Amino acid sequence: MENNILIVDSDISLKKILVKSLSGAKNIIRAVSTISEAWVEISKNYYDLILTDIELPDGDGLELVEKIRKKKLSTKIIVISAKHNLLTTVKASELNVYEYISKPIDLNDLIIVVSRCLQKDKSNTHQLIADDEKLPMIGNSQVMQSVYRTIAKLMKTDLTVLITGESGTGKELVAKAIHDFSRRADDDFVVLNMAAIPRDLIESELFGYEKGAFTGAEKKTIGYFEKAEKGTLFLDEIGDMPFEVQARLLRVLQMGEYSRVGGREVIKSDVRIISATNKNLKECVESGTFREDLYYRLNVVKINVPHLRDRKSDIMLLSNFFLKKFSNGSKKINEDCIKLLEKYRWPGNVRELENFFKKISVLYSDNVITKKIIEEEINDIDEVSYEQQQSENSISDSMIVHLSNFFDALNPDDDNSTLNLYEKLLTEFEKPLINKALNFFNGNQIKTAAMLGINRNTLRKKIKDLKITLKK
């Protein structure tokens, strides 16, 4: 059976490539450049599949999609666009779009998607109306587009979601977006941060307690599960949940019921669970601090929120947004400032960038934020805040930062720079470590060797090989 395919895109070169790639014995291709041309075609012929861009000369491609849906055509639609954010992704999903593919296009992936689309009937229901006020995240980078697509696919489900990512990346924003675009949007989104509550109170905060359950329990108190009934409960920093409480949470996820602390009444639960952590939960499982069965219950769908250094193309959008937000639209930033902002690694991620512009908006009266201002403030961060942040991090975290800088400078095609990399990095680590240990013991090699867990002869050899100068 032949498939009629319509391509709607104003890019002549891309149209030619798509026509050539998708043409075959079973595909009849027609390509147009505008919404009006597309509608003429749709009015005359039935199309099994339509591939459309969003940015078209005579309007928004999603308007065309909406028009098709109002006509109740069963045509499958794939959106191909460089304009890709959470709102457009959600709108596309609401309009029963089969897939949302971002430019630049990987032709192999596109062919696979088209083939799958034409073979499988996929039906969804139209449920939510997207709202600009519900747009919590900003960014058009590829990594953020992946997050948007996942959120859009979760709209019509109650699947449990685990959100991972560094501190400050916006994990709570992702959780809120999942809730806001879900069937539970009209009910409460309740947040409980495990790290912010004393460990011995987490159980009673989660499940509530009866009067007299413990000293100080003067009246029956509902917990976060009851507060979130019919809605979404967001458990932030789930890796900090006490081990003994994890069993109770697991029971809720398995059985859909719980009891208040000190109570016998079994309470049925209709709550969607979204959790988040900046820890590696697999490592927590291996170390025995997190239940393996609970981990798999929470990790039904995993969303990793990228750190800012992996989405530098979004820095301009974020900077303009924050500056407008904190200055009430009175301040602007020079374009030449963006390169400076992109060079800094932002260990505090989007939260650090937000605070950066909050500070600038208050301290500087200039309507235009210049390169000089940005330079001064970044230097200030490098000298004070950044050092403070690093001192608070683990050795491992600090090494990751420095290794990231190192790998950023590597050329993968340069064999000289990548050859024997392990030995090179080990040498760079060993020398300052041995130096520090020797200085700590005022050059005493016996104590240094004992501290490092190596014998004295090995230490002597390393001192010689690494050309470490001993203090006299």
Contact 85, 138 (CB under 8 A): yes
190 and 67 part of one domain: no
> Could you give the 3-state DSSP secondary structure of residue 7?
strand
Contacts with 155 (C-beta within 8 Å, 6 or more apart), sequence order: 90, 93, 94, 127, 128, 181, 182, 183
| Domain-embedded: residue 143 | no
| Domain-embedded: residue 390 | yes
| Domain-embedded: residue 470 | no
17 and 110 part of one domain: yes
User: Does the pLDDT of residue 409 top 70, yes or no?
Assistant: no
186 and 283 part of one domain: yes
Amino acid at 23: S
CATH number where 38 lies: 3.40.50.2300
61-81: per-residue pLDDT in tens? 999 998 888 887 778 999 988
285 and 164 part of one domain: yes
At residue 293 the predicted structure's pLDDT band, cuts being 50, 70 and 90, is: very high
179 and 299 part of one domain: yes
Confidence (pLDDT) at 84:
66
Contact 232, 274 (CB under 8 A): yes
334 and 279 part of one domain: no
Contact 53, 9 (CB under 8 A): yes
CATH number where 395 lies: 1.10.8.60
Domain housing 425 = 415-465
CB atoms within 10 A of CB 130: 21
224 and 251 part of one domain: yes
| Domain-embedded: residue 139 | no
| Domain-embedded: residue 445 | yes
444 and 395 part of one domain: no
| Domain-embedded: residue 116 | yes
Residue 121 Cα distances to 48, 49, 157, 218, 315, angstroms: 11, 11, 19, 58, 39
**Alpha-carbon gap, residue 427 to 462, rounded angstroms:** 10
**Residue of higher predicted confidence among 405 and 157:** 157
| Domain-embedded: residue 150 | no
Contacts from 56-63 at CB under 8 Å and sequence distance 24+? Answer: 56/8, 56/9, 56/10, 57/10, 57/33, 58/34, 59/35, 61/8, 61/35, 62/88, 62/91, 62/92, 62/95, 63/35
169 and 249 part of one domain: yes
108-136: per-residue pLDDT in tens? 778 888 888 887 543 333 333 333 334 45
The count of structural domains within the chain is 4
247-264: per-residue pLDDT in tens? 999 999 999 999 999 998
CATH number where 205 lies: 3.40.50.300
Confidence (pLDDT) at 122:
38
Confidence (pLDDT) at 194:
92
> Could you give the 3-state DSSP secondary structure of residue 441?
coil
181 and 298 part of one domain: yes
**Alpha-carbon gap, residue 266 to 260, rounded angstroms:** 8
| Domain-embedded: residue 394 | yes
CATH number where 443 lies: 1.10.10.60
209 and 190 part of one domain: yes
162 and 294 part of one domain: yes
Q: What pTM was computed for the model? A: 0.63
